[in-house]
Amino acid sequence: MSATNLAAALARPGLIDDYLPLTGCFDEMRPTQGEVRPQWRYILEALRTLGPAGIEERWREAARMIRDNGVTYNLNGDPQGMSRPWELDLLPLLIPSEEWAVLERGLMQRAELFNLILLDLYGPRELINRGLLPAELIDGYREYLLPCHGLEVAGRRPLVHYAADLTRMPDGQWRVIGDRTQTPLGAGYALENRVVLSRVLPSLFRDSHVHRQAGFFRSMRRTLTRLAPGRDGHTRVVVLTPGPQSEAYFEHAYLANYLGYDLVQGGDLSVRDGALWLRTLGRLERIDAMMRRVKASECDPLELGEDAGQGVPGLVEAVRAGNLVIANALGSGVLEHPGLMAFLPALCRHLLGEDLLLPDISTWWCGDPKARAFVLAHLDNLVIKQAGKPQGQRCVFPGTMEAASREALIQAIQASPNRFVAQERVQPSTAPVLVGQRLEPRPITLRTFLCAEDEGYTVLPGGLGRVALTSDAALVSNQLGGLGKDAWVLASEPERQETLLISGDSQAPAVTQESEVSSRVADNLFWIGRYAERAEGLVRLLRMIIFKLSERTEVAPTTAPAKPGTYFMRSLLEALTHQTQSLPGFLGEGAAARLRDPWPELLSLISNPRRLGGLPQTLQALGQAAYSVRERLSVDTWRIVSDIEARLAALTSTPPTQPSAALDELDPLVTSLVAFSGLTQENMTHNEGWHFLETGRRLERGAALAALLRSTLTPLTPEQDETTLIEAVLGVTDSTITYRRRYRAGTRIGALLDLVLQDEGNPRALAYQLVALERLVTVMPKGELAVGRTPAEKLVLKTLTGVRLAELDTLVQPDPQTQRRVSLEKVLEALESDLAAISNALTAQYFRHEEQPHSLLRRIGVVK
C-alpha cells in the first residue's frame, strides 16, 4: 500500500461514501449506515490537507525510520528471516478517552483477578478445593509447574506484566479473546509505532491530544526495582531472551535498552550459593530481578524440564531462596489456558465480590460433561482449541473441515475431553486500511498491556493494533502476517509532555559503576570487529583488482578470456584467494583457466551468498553478530548496519554483470563499512566491550595485511610490474598519499615495507595493529589469581618485537635460486601464525573459559 495510493484515495470526492463496512461487524470508522464517527473526522481532513506530496513524504519517512531503526519481526518460515521489517499502517486506531476509561477499569480488574488466581493455584489451591476450578483443568496443563508450588512471591505480585487481546462485538462492546500472562509480547512494538507516527505526523499527533505512553514504561522499571530484593540500594535487573532466533528479538533488545537493563541469554547466567549471577569477563555480578522472555517451562533444566536449553540450571532454587524476582513469575503461563475463561465470571464474584466488567467471548471446557454435549451438538458454529498447543496453532474451525477430519476431531474430544476448549466464532471488528485506490475495512484486534504497581495495575494507553491482510481472515496474528497499527486514546485536552527517557531515581548515587560485558557479548563484539574489517579489506582488494582489470582490457573480461595476465595481476588475484580462503580460487586446481578469465570467479566472490569466504557470507556474518548484540549498538550505528544489509540484498538479488556495475556497487559499500568503523570508534564508549571489538578489528587487519604482502611482495616481478603492483598495494591499504609525500625516489619495495610494515603511526601498517593490540590486551580483565602477563600479552609482545627488529634491507633481498624474497616470506608467515595464536589465546581465555595456569605466589602473600 503506497503513499501515492493513500493520497489519491483521500483526494477522491467519494472516498467515504465508497467505504462499505462488512456485514455483521463493528467498524471502527463508520457505522453500517451513517456518517464517519466523530473521532475520525479530524484525521481524515488533516490527511486531505497534507495532499499527495505531503502524504508521500511522510509514508517514505515512516518506512525509512522502521528500516533504519532495525525494527523486525520474524515470521515462522519467512525467507527474510531475522531481517523481516516490521510493517506499520499510517492510519492509527482511534479510541475516545471516555470509552477508554471504561475499558481501562475492566482491564485493571481482570489483571487483579488473574493475580489472585495465580497466588491461589501455587499456594493453598482453595479454588480447586471448593470446586470453583476443576483440578483436571489445571493439573493436566503443561504450563502448571509443580516445582513452583509454594514459592514466595515478592509483594504478592506474581503477575507483574499482563496483556489482553480485545475485539469488538457487532454491538460495539469490547470482548477479551485471549490473555497473555507468560511473556506478554508487543509493548515494545507499540512504543516504536508511537515513536514513528508521532514523528512523521507531529502536528496531527499533537492536535489530537493523544494520551502519552512514557509513564507506563517508567512504571515497569519502578515496579521491578521495588520488588527486587534490596542490597544496599543497588538493584541489578536483566532481560532474559531466547536469543536472536526469537521472533521478537527486536523487542527484547529494544526494551532492554529503553529500560536500561542488560539483555542476557541463559548461557550468560549462573546460579551459585542460591543466587543468580551474570558471568562477566572479570567477575560474577549479582542479579536481583529478571524480566523473562523465555517460557517458564524452558527456564531451568534441573527442575522444569530437561529440554530447557535456553534457561539456567538452578533458577528455581534462586527464587525459592528469596534472592531473585522474576517477572512474570515462573508458572504464570497456566493463566493462558483457554478453558479458564469459562470459569472467570464465577471466580471474579468469589475473589473480588463483583461481576466481571470486561467479559470474555463465550467459552466451554469439554472436560465438563454438559459443556461437552453442547459443544458436540453445535460444533459447526464454534472454534475448537487444544490446550497446550502454541499460540496461533490451537484453533480449528469444524464448520470448514472435511468430513473425515471433522469425525477425527469428534473422536479426539471424546477420548481426551480435558484437552479441548470451544469458543464462539467471533468476527473481529474492522478498521480502515488502504487497498489499491480505496479505503477498505480489515479485521483488527487490539492488544493492551498492564503493569503491576503498589496498589493495583496501570494500563498502557492504547496498545498494539494488528490488522489482517484480507477481509475474510478468520484469525488476526503476528505470525500470520499483517500490519501493525498505533492505537491513539484521544483526550479532550492537551496531555502533559513527557519524555521518553527514563528518569533516574533521586535516591540513587550520581555515579554508578558501568556493567561489565558477558563472555557471549564480548565474543560477538570481537567478531563484529573481525567481520567488519574483513569485509572492508575484501571490498578494497576487489575494487583494486576490477580497476586494474579494466585498465588492461578494452572489453569486459567475460568476452576476452584468452589474454595472459601479467605478473602483478596474478599476484593480486592470488592475494584475493589467500585473503578469502576461497580455495581453489586462483591457486588450486583449474587456477590457470580462472587467471585467464577471472571475472566469473570475481563475480562469485562478490554476489554468491553460498560461496564460502565470499563478500556476501562475510556481510551476513557481520549482520548476525551485530544482531546478537544490537542492544549495545547506537541508533546511528544500527542504521549503518541496515544500510549494509540493504546493499548486500542488492548485490545478491541482482548481481552485476560488468566490471563498471560491480564498482558502482562496491564503492558505496566501502563507504558504509568505513562509516560503521567510524561510529564504533567515535560513538561507542571505550569500555570492555569496545576493547574486544577493537581487538577483533586489529587482528583481522593485521592478518589481511600479512597475507596481502606475502602474496604480492615475496615473488620477484619485472620492474614495470613491480611498480604497478606497489601502486596497487598502496591503493588497497589506503596509503598512496602518504607514500607520495614521504618517499621521493619512486616506488620501491623497501619504502613500501617501511610504510605498511614498520610504521607505528600509520593506521594501515602492521606495526600499528600490533601496538594497538598491545594496549588493548593489557587493559583486558584478568582473573583474581593471575600474575604477570597473560598468554595473549606475551604473544603480542613477541610479535611486535619481531616486527620492530626486522631489518628492511635484509627483507627486500631476493634469493637468487628461488627468485623469491625468502626472508620477507618467513617474517610474514610468522606474523600470520602469531596473529592466529593471539586470537586463539583470547578465545581460550575469554570465550571458552578454559582453565588458565595461575601462580600460587599471590595466595601465600609473596606477591602484593
310-338 confidence digits (pLDDT tens): 789 999 999 999 999 999 999 999 999 99
Is residue 417 over pLDDT 80?
yes
pLDDT band at 511 (very low <50, low <70, confident <90, very high): very low
Position 55 scores a pLDDT of 79
- 844, burial (CB in 10 Å: exposed 0-12, middle 13-18, buried 19+): middle
The yes-or-no verdict on residue 117 having pLDDT over 90 is yes
CA dist., res. 272 & res. 277, Å (int) = 7
Higher pLDDT among residues 658 and 234, named by residue: 658
Lowest mean pLDDT among 383-397, 555-569, 584-598, 704-718: 555-569
pLDDT at 620 over 90: yes
What is the rounded (10 degree) CA torsion for 8, 13, 18, 19?
70
Its CATH class, for the domain covering 362-424, is: alpha beta
Winning range, highest mean pLDDT, from 410-424, 465-479, 509-523: 410-424
Burial annotation 295-326 (CB, 10 A radius, 16+ → b, else e) = bbbbbbbbbbbeebebbbbbbbbbbbbebbbb
Give the pLDDT score at 556. Answer: 36
- Looking at the chain, the number of H-run helices and the number of E-run strands are 29, 19
Confidence at residue 744, expressed as pLDDT on a 0 to 100 scale:
75
Per DSSP, 760 falls in state T
pLDDT in tens, 177-204: 999 999 999 999 999 999 999 999 999 9
Q: What is the mean pLDDT of residues 379-384?
A: 93
Residue 203 cell numbers, joined: 502536528
Note whether 837 and 795 are within 8 A (CB): yes
Cβ within 8 Å of residue 320, ≥6 positions away: 151, 152
821 with 815: CB under 8 angstroms?
yes
As to burial, measured by CB atoms within 10 angstroms (0-12 exposed, 13-18 middle, 19+ buried), residue 469 is middle
> Which residues pair with residue 180 across a beta bridge?
163
Rounded mean pLDDT of 66-82?
Answer: 69
Kindly state the cell numbers that stand for 275: 543466587
Predicted pLDDT of residue 316: 96
Q: Residue 261 — pLDDT band, cuts 50, 70, 90?
A: very high
Does position 12 have pLDDT exceeding 60, yes or no? no
* 362: pLDDT strictly greater than 50: yes
What percent of the chain clears pLDDT 70, i.e. is strictly above it? 87
Q: Is pLDDT of 509 > 50?
A: no
Using DSSP, state whether 612 is helix, strand or coil.
coil
In this structure, what DSSP letter does residue 426 have?
Answer: -
- E strands of 30-138, at which residues? 93-96
User: Residue 392: its pLDDT value, please?
Assistant: 52
pLDDT band at 785 (very low <50, low <70, confident <90, very high): low
- On average, the pLDDT of the chain sits at 87
Specify the 3-state DSSP secondary structure of 404. Answer: helix
Q: Tell me the pLDDT band of 857, cut-offs 50, 70 and 90.
A: very low
Read off the pLDDT of each residue in 92-101 and give the average, rounded to a whole number: 95
Task: Check residue 531 and give its pLDDT.
Answer: 97
Residue 154: the pLDDT is 86
| Domain definitions of the chain by residue range | 362-424, 519-684, 705-854
Given a cut of 50, is residue 553 above it in pLDDT? no
Q: Does 223 score more than 90 pLDDT?
A: yes
pLDDT at site 385 = 92
How are beta strands 289-292 and 237-240 bridged, if at all?
Answer: parallel
Distance CA 25, CA 430 (A): 7
pLDDT bracket for residue 162 (50, 70, 90): very high
Q: How far apart are CA 362 and CA 421, in angstroms?
A: 11
- At 587-613, the pLDDT tens digits run 888 888 998 899 999 999 999 999 999
pLDDT at 562 over 60: no
**Higher confidence at residue 76 or residue 547?**
547
Dist. CA 771–CA 373, nearest whole Å: 80
pTM: 0.86
Three-class secondary structure assignment of 189-246: HHHHHHHHHHHHCHHHHHHCCECCCHHHHHHHHHHHHHHCCCCCCCCCEEEECCCCCC
Average pLDDT of span 665-671:
94
Strand 464-467 versus strand 438-452 pairing type: antiparallel
Q: What is the DSSP string of 23-47?
A: TTS-BSS--SSSPPPHHHHHHHHHH
393 has a pLDDT exceeding 70? no
Query: Percentage of residues in the chain with pLDDT exceeding 90?
Result: 63
Query: What is the structure's pLDDT at 600?
Result: 92
List the single range of 27-36, 100-109, 212-221, 561-570 with lowest mean pLDDT: 561-570
Query: How many whole angstroms separate alpha carbon 708 and alpha carbon 541?
Result: 9
For the segment 515-540, the average pLDDT, to the nearest whole number, is 92
